[in-house]
Amino acid sequence: MIGTPLPHRMQLSPNFGQRRIGSNIDIIILHYTGMSDGQKACDWLCNPESQVSSHYLINDDGTLVQMVDETARAWHAGVSSWHGVEDINSTSIGIEIQNPGHSMGYPEFPLVQMEAVAALCADLLKRYNIKPRNILAHSDIAPGRKIDPGEKFDWFFLHQRGIGHWVAPEPLLGGSYLQVGDHGDPVMALQALLKLYGYGLEANGTFDPRTKIVVEAFQRHFRQIQVDGVADQSTVATLHKLLRR
């Protein structure tokens, strides 16, 4: 079993396949489980009826469970896209983080759990050539379909430990903004920048429902104080900062 040398236990899942020939591991996808406790989540990810899995599960007490060999293609990303790549499962390591999610109160992620996330990600970064901007939320690669790990997940905590791409978000300053129904060059420019960063969005010059969903996904990761799908000055300025860095 290929995996992390960090202390962990195994509960193997039958839900995996072979990675696409020629694919390289260059993405880490962080999820939340959306279930009431870690063992229920682990059992579900290891149940052949679920048809889902991930390489790792990190419980809220920081304990680490491996379910799929890193060389195998776990079934965690689903229908997704990043920088035009749609078979994310073939190029990624999937990490489930125990949290009941938005439908069950959505608590904070405990410090001990965040430390374990950081340790696992750091270990993966040592062993694979993964760019900071490819350490992603499930919501980044599947906007609208998924919203995990959500706006309470502490990306800055990971960044302080050398993990992931992050800039200090611009404050909410008011001023002009773009929203559903707007048209024209400013909308097309926004869409082009989001696509350049990696999001699955076409630049058509219309702020349509799909654009709103992608803006929400961006805010959920990079401008968490207000997730509303409105491209205000804070959102746009934060996106520019990320692209410059």
The angle, 0 to 180 degrees and rounded to 10, between the axes of the packed helices 233-244 and 185-197 is: 40
Tell which residue, 194, 226, 196, 222, has the closest CA to residue 208.
194
Q: Are 89 and 20 in contact (CB under 8 A)?
A: no
Q: Residue 79: how many CB atoms within 10 A of its CB?
A: 11
Q: Are 31 and 138 in contact (CB under 8 A)?
A: yes
The 3-class secondary structure across 116-129, one letter per residue, is HHHHHHHHHHHHCC
Helix ranges, 161-226 (H): 185-197, 209-222
Indicate if the alpha-carbon torsion angle 216, 45, 97, 26 is positive or negative.
Answer: negative
Selected catalytic residue, list 49, 70, 96, 202: 96
How many whole angstroms separate alpha carbon 85 and alpha carbon 9? Answer: 32
Q: ω into residue 149 within 30 of 0, thus cis? A: yes
Q: Phi/psi at 220 (nearest 5 deg)?
A: -60, -25
* Annotated catalytic residue 108: no
How many whole angstroms separate alpha carbon 4 and alpha carbon 120? Answer: 7
Catalytic (active-site) positions: 96
